[in-house]
Each structure stands twice: as structure tokens, then as C-alpha cells.
């Protein structure tokens, strides 16, 4: 049978499921302790290289999906998907979705009184290259109010969804923008303890910025990696021919 190389568990930067400041976690987070299980083939495997059959083909430019150009500040977001050991995660899918430049989602349940943009859907997906690199073009999403508490506003953010190589590496997160004063008062971002919250804040980058065209931001995504110490095994490297 296959040798199981387990993945590392959550590090100190992961948020708890219950964060009362984000009100809807109160009735939707478990109260019983999680049951820790060893990683088996179930947790160390995942779909690979079949993204077109699952999510569909790549859609890396969110500004050219419709007849006209969307409103707002055009931006380029690029970076790498790595594991926590610093190794690139190649050929893995990243799905993205976001509000438009006014902070309005195309979703029918978004009732905020900001304009929809017929030229902007706000959804796309990219697959990392052999070095784990990705790049997409979009517009900077706007901030928007929400009903969590009085005068609550979400900071500008882009939703990211990654599978990585295994069930254990699944990650959904949000990318924030530098110098956004709303991050510090956002209960969702603040579910993540400092300083780890800052891992979700992208960096403006002049080298990624294209003259007369689009501002550039860097954002690396770090997925869980294999445990640094291999598990105890009776089949060492020196007895492979027995």
C-alpha cells in the first residue's frame, strides 16, 4: 500500500470556528471538541490536473468577461502558492470571487444600495504554473456595509478558494489590501490573531504594476505542507530491495 506522509496540522495563525464578534459563528460553530484523526489515504489525496473537468477552464481576466470595461481601478494580483515548507504548489487551482468597485456583489441576496456593473461578474479561476505562480487581472473591490453590528463595514477583499494536493490542504481565505483602515475593525479578519492576520494583507508592488494600465499587488498563498519529520517507518531507504 501507499506510504502515508501526513500533513502538518493547523499552525498558530488559524482562527477558531467560534468568534462571537462575527455574530453568525455563534449558532454555526460546533461546541464539541474536534476529534483528531491520523491522516489516511483519504486525507492525503485529492483531485489533480482535472480542473477543466471540475471548475472549468481558466478565467484569469475578470475585466474582459463582458462587452464593456468594468468600472473601477484595474489591478493585477499575482504571487505564488507555496506549502508551509516553502515549496511551490504547481498546477493547482485557485478560484476567486469578489464584489465590484462599488462594493456590490452580483448576487441577488446582496441588497446594498450600490450600483451593479453589467460589465463585471467578479468570478474567475487560475491554475498555478510549475513554480506555483499565478496572476489575474480584476478591479479593486469596494468596501461595503453589512448587518453584523451597528455601522459595520467589510474591508475591500477578494475571496480565494484553493484545494491544494489533498483533502487536508483545502483552504478558503480572503485577500485584503494594504493600508485599509477597515481591516482593524473587521470581525472576520480579526478572528485571526495578530500578527498572523497580516498574512492576509497583500503588498502593493511597483514591479507588478504595469505603466499606464494597472496597479499590481503581491499575494502568496501558503497551504499546509507535509510534516517536516517523516513518520517512523520500518522501511528505511536502505532496505528497498528486500
Partner 1 sequence: MTTDPVNPAPRLDNQDPALFGQTPSQTVGPFFHYGLPWKGGADLVGQSDMGARPELFPEEHYVLNRSPPRGAVGGETIVLEGVVYDAEGKPVPDAMIEIWQANAAGRYASPDDDRPDVPLDEGFIGFGRAATDENGLYRFRTVRPGPVPGPGNRLQAPHIAVGVFGRGLIKRLATRIYFEDAAENDADPILALVPAERRDTLVARKGRNDAWRFDIILQGERETVFFDV
Binding residues among 107-126 for partner 1 as defined by CB under 8 A: 107-110, 118, 121-124
The answer to whether residue 39 is catalytic is: no
Least distance in Å: CB of 213 to partner 1?
22
Residue 167 interacts with partner 1 (CB under 8 A)? yes
With b for 16 or more beta-carbon neighbours within 10 A and e for fewer, the 2-20 pattern comes to: eebebbbeeeeeebeeebe
Residues 59-98, mask of contacts with partner 1 (x by CB under 8 A): x-----xx------------x----x-x--------xxx-
165 touching partner 1, by CB under 8 A: yes
Please tell me whether residue 183 adopts helix, strand or coil conformation: helix
Q: Measuring CA to CA, which residue among 82, 91, 85 is closest to residue 221?
A: 82
Near partner 1 in 127-156, by CB under 8 A: none
CB of 127 to partner 1, least distance (A): 14
DSSP state of 192: S
Tell whether residue 207 is a contact of partner 1 (CB under 8 A).
no
| Nearest partner of 64 among 106, 108, 114, 124, judged by Cα | 124
Question: Are 7 and 36 spatial neighbours (Cβ–Cβ below 8 Å)?
Answer: no
Q: Does 240 participate in catalysis according to the annotation?
A: no
Catalytic center residues: 105, 144, 154, 157, 159
Amino acid at each position: 500500500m501507499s506510504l502515508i506522509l501526513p500533513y502538518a496540522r493547523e499552525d498558530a495563525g488559524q482562527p477558531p470556528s467560534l468568534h462571537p464578534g462575527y455574530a453568525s459563528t455563534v449558532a454555526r460553530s460546533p461546541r464539541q471538541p474536534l476529534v483528531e484523526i491520523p491522516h489516511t489515504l483519504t486525507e492525503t489525496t485529492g483531485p489533480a490536473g482535472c480542473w477543466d473537468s471540475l471548475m472549468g477552464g481558466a478565467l484569469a481576466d475578470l475585466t474582459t468577461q463582458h462587452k464593456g470595461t468594468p468600472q473601477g481601478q484595474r489591478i493585477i494580483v499575482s504571487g505564488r502558492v507555496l506549502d508551509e515548507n516553502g515549496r511551490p504548489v504547481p498546477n493547482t487551482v485557485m478560484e476567486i470571487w469578489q464584489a465590484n468597485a462599488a462594493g456590490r456583489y452580483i448576487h441577488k441576496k446582496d441588497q446594498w444600495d450600490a450600483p451593479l456593473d453589467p460589465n463585471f461578474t467578479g468570478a474567475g479561476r487560475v491554475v498555478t504554473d510549475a513554480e506555483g505562480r499565478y496572476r489575474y487581472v480584476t478591479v479593486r473591490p469596494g468596501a461595503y456595509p453589512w448587518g453584523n453590528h451597528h455601522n459595520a463595514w467589510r474591508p475591500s477583499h477578494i475571496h480565494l478558494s484553493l484545494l491544494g494536493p489533498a483533502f487536508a490542504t483545502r483552504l478558503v481565505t480572503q485577500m485584503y489590501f494594504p493600508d485599509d483602515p477597515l481591516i482593524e475593525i473587521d470581525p472576520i479578519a480579526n478572528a485571526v490573531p495578530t500578527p498572523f492576520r497580516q498574512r492576509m494583507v497583500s503588498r502593493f508592488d511597483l514591479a507588478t504594476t504595469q505603466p499606464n494600465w494597472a496597479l499590481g499587488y503581491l499575494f502568496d498563498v501558503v497551504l499546509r505542507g507535509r510534516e517536516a519529520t517523516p513518520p517512523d517507518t520500518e522501511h528505511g531507504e536502505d532496505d528497498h530491495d528486500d
